[in-house]
Amino acid sequence: MGGCTDPEQYRVLRGHGTERPGTSPLMQEKRDGTFSCAGCGHPLFSSETKYESCTGWPSFFAPLEGAVATTEDRSHFMTRIEVHCAQCGGHLGHVFPDGPQPTGMRFCMNGVSLTFTPRDRD
């Protein structure tokens, strides 16, 4: 379970910040597993929904059922849909309607807001 002990994690998760594009090691994560909230450990995304969006942030076309919540974000002189952890409310990123099928959605997440747990191979 994460706790936001890193200043950058805290800035993004609790202060609604954004990490610099291309800085997350999770961009290169290709193993099967689960991406969870770095603030509370709540499972958010399956690796099966991760894809390369060429935006500079880890992207997914769908969250796990009930894992995230959204709110309208009117900061930075634009309207976007903010994605946050349904359990602790930590800021994860934003969702846009320009993703791949089957959902057509792009959940563009801050890697610092996530942790990754590889799936056990039996």
Output DSSP code: residue 63: P
Of 4, 37, 85, 108, the catalytic one is: 108
Q: What whole-number distance in Å separates Cα of residue 76 and Cα of residue 68?
A: 22
- Contact present, 116 and 24 (Cβ < 8 Å): no
- What are the two backbone dihedrals, phi and then psi, of residue 41, each rounded to the nearest 5 degrees? 85, 5
pLDDT score for 1 = 40
Position 121 scores a pLDDT of 66
3-state per-residue secondary structure call for 37-55: ECCCCCEEEEHHHEECCCC
In a structure prediction context, what are the per-residue pLDDT tens digits for the chain, which is 122 residues long?
456 668 999 999 999 899 999 999 999 999 999 999 999 999 999 999 999 999 999 999 999 999 999 998 887 677 889 999 999 999 999 999 999 999 999 999 999 999 999 998 65
The question of whether 108 is a catalytic residue gets the answer yes
pTM of the full predicted structure?
0.91
Q: Contact, 34 vs 47, CB < 8 A?
A: yes
